[in-house]
Amino acid sequence: MTKSIIKGIGHYVPENIVANDDLSKLMTTSDEWITERTGIKERHHRKNRNDSEETTAFLAFKASEKALKMAGLSAKDIDYIVFATLSPDYFFPGCGVLLQEMLGCNTIGALDVRNQCSGFVYAMGVANAFIKSNTYKNILVVGAEVHSFGLDFSDAGRGVSVIFGDGAGAVILSASEDENAGDILSTNMHSEGKFADELCTKFPGSKFGWSDRMRLEPENVTDAEIYPVMNGNFVFKHAVTRFPETMMEALNAAGKTVEDLDMFIPHQANLRIAQFVQQKMGLSEDKVFNNIQKYGNTTAASIPIALSEAIEQGKVKRGDLVLISAFGSGFTWGSVLFEF
């Protein structure tokens, strides 16, 4: 039976660090409020809000180079790309094709996944299915975001804009017949679209007639259509319910228990959500990896960035049983359980 192993991983964030105190110069907020509610101390934003070079695909390119290096592969060895993002360079085409060109891959398939905070978990689930069905051998799976250009840094947007950061993480998922190799043991993905409006960005969606309205009546376009809107408390309550469900589903499907886990890496949405889930699942602190303090919520990028750092720091080692889980806009949620 073909196994899906994580052969390489890497992450990349823009150099520019924005601390909570920097944000309090733009809006009525404070380091104390942000730290207490979210755990975030700083995040990375590209230097210029309207930069056309340090794009989502570019961040993904930098992370992918590192992942390829760790895997000992070249871009020509990659036979498929799965790219998760909610902040693509273009409305269309997707970012996967841009990454294919930047890396100099062959004319391989490139699929974009639009599942926001759950995007990387979905992307890994799709890639795993391709590997297990012997369709592809080396798949580049990416989560990347540039949020900073699309946030409202006025008081009206403070409940959302303080949370998000820019960054990218990339994984090379490869087929292996080696009986000692790691493997993806189970995946699950879920959605509940009735809550789409609870966390969304409306423009440039086809439901909102955005191009004519932007051109002909820009004065009637509202901030709530242009910028992300989030019913924070509502999202929080659903997240802390869905996380344990998807985690248990992943463990049960593989015949594993919480005690078997070496590391749990939750999507980095809010440190309070992660701590709540940790306690509810009975996990000790050293079995949960969080780095939201440094990066904020980088949506689809948060899990691969965290996994990459956990490996760099020796907190995840070959052979470890690792669970990654996410919840976010859609609503969508899901998990991937794997032996690294």
- 229 lies in the site for ligand ACO, by CB under 6 A: no
How far CA 95 is from CA of 82, 173, 279, in Å, comes to 9, 19, 37
Q: Whose Cβ is closer to ligand ACO: residue 71's or residue 271's?
A: 271
- Whole-number Å distance between alpha carbons of 165 and 14: 10
40-99 residues in contact with ligand ACO (CB under 6 A) are none
- Whole-number Å distance between alpha carbons of 128 and 172: 11
- 115 lies in the site for ligand ACO, by CB under 6 A: no
Can you tell me whether residue 324 is helix, strand or coil?
strand
Catalytically annotated residue among 117, 188, 190, 270: 117
Q: Whose Cβ is closer to ligand ACO: residue 109's or residue 150's?
A: 150
Can you tell me whether residue 203 is helix, strand or coil?
coil
Q: In the annotation, is 270 catalytic?
A: no
Report helix, strand and coil shares of the chain as percent, to nearest 5. 45, 25, 35
Amino acid found at 72: G
Q: Whose Cβ is closer to ligand ACO: residue 33's or residue 210's?
A: 33
- Whole-number Å distance between alpha carbons of 332 and 323: 17
Q: Whose Cβ is closer to ligand ACO: residue 112's or residue 339's?
A: 112
Q: In the annotation, is 238 catalytic?
A: no
- 20 lies in the site for ligand ACO, by CB under 6 A: no
User: Residue 19 corresponds to which tokens in the numbers above?
Assistant: 């601390």
- Whole-number Å distance between alpha carbons of 110 and 112: 7
- 116 lies in the site for ligand ACO, by CB under 6 A: yes
How far CA 335 is from CA of 44, 87, 172, in Å, comes to 26, 22, 18
* 292 neighbors 224 (Cβ within 8 angstroms): no
- 271 lies in the site for ligand ACO, by CB under 6 A: no
DSSP letter (8 states) at residue 37: H
> Which one among 38, 138, 290, 335 touches ligand ACO, defined by CB under 6 A?
38
Q: In the annotation, is 297 catalytic?
A: yes
- Whole-number Å distance between alpha carbons of 76 and 104: 7
Can you tell me whether residue 80 is helix, strand or coil?
strand
> Which one among 37, 41, 137, 202 touches ligand ACO, defined by CB under 6 A?
37
Instruction: Tell me the site size for ligand ACO, rule CB under 6 A.
Output: 23
Q: Which residue has the tokens 């969508």?
A: 332
> Which one among 11, 44, 46, 158 touches ligand ACO, defined by CB under 6 A?
158
**φ and ψ of 152, to 5 deg:** -95, 105
Minimum CB separation of residue 231 from ligand ACO in Å reads 8
User: Residue 165 corresponds to which tokens in the numbers above?
Assistant: 């950061």
> Which one among 149, 210, 236, 276 touches ligand ACO, defined by CB under 6 A?
236
Q: Give how far the C-alpha of residue 25 lies from the chain's centroid of Cα atoms, to the nearest Å.
A: 28
> Which one among 52, 134, 233, 284 touches ligand ACO, defined by CB under 6 A?
233
150 contacts: CB under 8 Å, gap ≥ 6? 87, 201, 227, 228
Q: Whose Cβ is closer to ligand ACO: residue 38's or residue 100's?
A: 38
- 299 lies in the site for ligand ACO, by CB under 6 A: yes
- Whole-number Å distance between alpha carbons of 93 and 103: 17
> Which one among 57, 269, 281, 324 touches ligand ACO, defined by CB under 6 A?
269
- Tell me the per-residue interface mask from 174 to 213 with ligand ACO, x by CB under 6 A, - otherwise: -------------------------x--------------
Minimum CB separation of residue 310 from ligand ACO in Å reads 20
- 150 lies in the site for ligand ACO, by CB under 6 A: no
> Which one among 195, 202, 214, 232 touches ligand ACO, defined by CB under 6 A?
232
Q: Which residues are catalytic?
A: 117, 267, 297
Residues that bind ligand ACO (CB under 6 A): 29, 33-34, 37-38, 116-117, 158-159, 162, 199, 232-233, 235-236, 239, 269-270, 273, 297, 299, 328-329
